[in-house]
Structure 1
């Protein structure tokens, strides 16, 4: 295995000379690179030193392997040139000693034999290349380009290592930040399989990291949000517009099988391995509850809990459209509380409110689940009776009987609480408008109210009459 490159200070900085930039073959500032040459032949050592100096390198000489090891450990060398045949330590022994103490710099083994076994062993110990010393001295001209080539290779390896280290640091920072996030942060590979899972995801979905890595992201989505047999990537193909600045709402599926409303923001990045995705998932249960509460407040009467008059307009339009589509009639009951002013004056508005609440409960419990109760204003209620054909009066009589038998008003007032009720009918062939129908029901209610007043004035014991 070849050794990793040394620190960048050993290899020097990039050469800025115009000659090097023009020729394109100079990777480093050669004057900043120190070479240690281990050679027991003084004459040959000086020849190599002179040739490399002419090529721009600074060269120190060690006369044997032992001195070379000591000199290398005491200095800062960017390149080693080691002769195989030296006293005390051979070139291979030098490489073995130095490789045990740390990483070797770019290293060239010089051999006079041309033995492949020596070259292979040197490469195993961390040498970058080897050069055969020929009697004619041709190797002297071969050394500079070999040195330049291995320096270039080490520079590439060094830059790759720096990039990999930067990537590892970036991933470590990402994981540190992601693991502290309250939101779920989940990354997927190009097949939509999960490859990263933070603690926030575990809190929302109830899974541990080991439960989900390698599995499709769509396992976290309610079946209503995707087709069961869809490939994992189809969700991202459909919802690829859900960028970080604008999320999409969906329905998540927890480990226990319950659903949770979620908002997803999706980002992607491309590598040679394909497209990868990161999804930020936020639990929006509280937001949905708040929205539902606001919606209820917008169309619900705060006192009685029935629908309010503001909501009535859209409600009537929908009911009329549905009745026309299915050719069903609709019945209407307009209701007014008798003697309500007396209740407020005699018992106070708090008791008056309690009476209205009790009446609304009586209406809801007595009528069908499909019937709609609206607080029309003050002490008036409107009942919408879908799919009622000639049964409006029956519903009215049922309410009168329920009010007479109710015990809800005991302890509130000392006299019976009664209602004046006006009836109106409509079917899809009826040309009247919604306003006209409500006016008709209102007129009938006032007829009933006048009749009730007359009965109360004469102290009649019979139940109220209705028009």
Structure 2
């Protein structure tokens, strides 16, 4: 077999079995179609393709562009650049194709050899990706939480409108800046340690979630919950940070704590909170060797108020007495309602004699108030104890001693 014939046979084999479709057309009529073209357009034999007009397989909306492209390629006898068309299969189904047209002389006539690739799946994936990106963009911009994207240098590369609203900055004011700008100033001293901690935690595949303080453009610190995730593009790390303002939650938690710690009737600490605070003070005083004096109070003739004026009046008395005592104590002192008409005062850094002096001053004010309201029928008894902090004595025992002292005082009246 001559070399020329060998090359032609092999070239024909390559064209016929090329995974991409190949057609040859002249004067708009298809003269040749390989096996892949049959597959692309759903033909069972070449006879269903050959002899038909090339425009039978192109959506009408693309006809004008295709005619211009064909004419230019044939006039200049130069390959036409890649183009994408919406095409029609034999059964009428729509597909997307990518074509490359190469002009050549077929005898005396000009013709085009066209490489055709079915890109329907690629188009579908692209549209799905485009939809996904649009969906993400919509979610990103309409999310109620603030969101920012940053690079490994901590520079912000994107942010949503919720972040602008939360921190008071505009988009342009933050793009390219470090997200540390949004961190409370008092937390910025350990900037590098903080960044390295976040990087290492996320590098290990963990999802960072914690509560910190952010700061607005106007210098206001706000409590926030942050969630940080790590992702990569071509091996380059990027970070997504979701920021939620938890100011309202903190306020709600504070109110709940207050409800748990405060006596609803008098507005002072309740028994549970008072005992916890006293226990903490006792530990501190042992460590610092500072004295404390505890005073056990019990209203005298309180039953008289309830019986003569009713329980509503009794509640008002408890509230008034608690307010009077509280107004005459230091912030460092502890005052709580033990239950019923019994109260506890704990004076910090106070010896027993000083405690008696403090109480004497308060008692004088109580007597003045009592004389104006209940003609001295109401009274109050007090028992004092200044515990030896070197001894292992717990708060219950200290209160028990003060209780006994109070009853001695009551019996001496």
- One fold, TM greater than 0.5? yes
Could you give the per-residue CA deviations for residues 214-270 of structure 1, whole angstroms, max 9, x where no partner exists?
Answer: 2222222223445354288436326638977x8422222222211222222222222
Instruction: Name the residue aligned to 1:193.
Output: 155
Instruction: Name the residue aligned to 1:394.
Output: 357
Instruction: Name the residue aligned to 1:272.
Output: 234
Preserved CA contact (<8 Å) 2:268 2:336 = yes
Determine the C-alpha separation between the residues in 2 that align with 1:373 and 1:306.
Answer: 7
Alignment of 1:317-336 (within 5 A): 317-336=279-298
Query: The residue matched to 2:166 in structure 1 has which SS?
Result: helix
Does the C-alpha gap of structure 1 residues 284 and 53 become closer, same or farther in structure 2, counting only changes over 3 Å? closer
Question: Is 1:27 aligned to 2:19, yes or no?
Answer: yes
Alignment of 1:33-112 (within 5 A): 34-37=23-26, 49=31, 76=58, 89-91=75-77, 105-110=99-104
Q: What is the aligned-residue RMSD (CA, Å)?
A: 4.2
Cα displacement (A) at 1:211: 2.1
Q: Is the radius of gyration larger for structure 1 or structure 2?
A: 1
Does the C-alpha gap of structure 1 residues 392 and 433 become closer, same or farther in structure 2, counting only changes over 3 Å? same
Does the C-alpha gap of structure 1 residues 107 and 61 become closer, same or farther in structure 2, counting only changes over 3 Å? farther
Query: The residue matched to 1:404 in structure 2 has which SS?
Result: helix
Determine the C-alpha separation between the residues in 2 that align with 1:26 and 1:442.
Answer: 102
Determine the C-alpha separation between the residues in 2 that align with 1:225 and 1:231.
Answer: 11
Instruction: Name the residue aligned to 1:434.
Output: 395
Does the C-alpha gap of structure 1 residues 183 and 341 become closer, same or farther in structure 2, counting only changes over 3 Å? same
Instruction: Name the residue aligned to 1:372.
Output: 334
Determine the C-alpha separation between the residues in 1 that align with 2:174 and 2:103.
Answer: 52
TM-score w.r.t. the length of structure 2 is: 0.74
Determine the C-alpha separation between the residues in 1 that align with 2:383 and 2:182.
Answer: 54
Does the C-alpha gap of structure 1 residues 223 and 239 become closer, same or farther in structure 2, counting only changes over 3 Å? farther
Instruction: Name the residue aligned to 2:409.
Output: 448
Query: The residue matched to 1:260 in structure 2 has which SS?
Result: strand
Match of residue 177, structure 1, among 106, 118, 139: 139
Instruction: Name the residue aligned to 1:463.
Output: none
Determine the C-alpha separation between the residues in 1 that align with 2:132 and 2:195.
Answer: 26
Determine the C-alpha separation between the residues in 2 that align with 1:263 and 1:274.
Answer: 26
Could you give the per-residue CA deviations for residues 82-113 of structure 1, whole angstroms, max 9, x where no partner exists?
Answer: 79997xx4436x969x99xxx993121448xx
Alignment of 1:117-132 (within 5 A): none
Preserved CA contact (<8 Å) 2:367 2:376 = no
Instruction: Name the residue aligned to 2:4.
Output: none
Instruction: Name the residue aligned to 1:460.
Output: none
Query: The residue matched to 1:278 in structure 2 has which SS?
Result: strand
Between Structure 1 and Structure 2, which shows a larger proportion of strand residues?
2
Determine the C-alpha separation between the residues in 2 that align with 1:55 and 1:369.
Answer: 89
Cα displacement (A) at 1:316: 2.8
Query: The residue matched to 2:99 in structure 1 has which SS?
Result: coil
Preserved CA contact (<8 Å) 1:38 1:83 = no
Determine the C-alpha separation between the residues in 1 that align with 2:251 and 2:37.
Answer: 76
Could you give the per-residue CA deviations for residues 57-81 of structure 1, whole angstroms, max 9, x where no partner exists?
Answer: 878799xxxxxxxx76676399999
Question: Is 1:300 aligned to 2:265, yes or no?
Answer: no
Corresponding pairs, count: 367
Long gaps (5+) in structure 1: 1-18, 40-44, 63-70, 112-132, 135-139, 453-467
Cα displacement (A) at 1:379: 0.6
Alignment of 1:249-288 (within 5 A): 249-272=211-234, 274-288=236-250
Determine the C-alpha separation between the residues in 1 that align with 2:227 and 2:258.
Answer: 28
TM-score w.r.t. the length of structure 1 is: 0.66
Cα displacement (A) at 1:289: 1.6
Preserved CA contact (<8 Å) 2:18 2:36 = no
Preserved CA contact (<8 Å) 1:84 1:109 = no
Does the C-alpha gap of structure 1 residues 53 and 430 become closer, same or farther in structure 2, counting only changes over 3 Å? closer
Does the C-alpha gap of structure 1 residues 437 and 95 become closer, same or farther in structure 2, counting only changes over 3 Å? closer
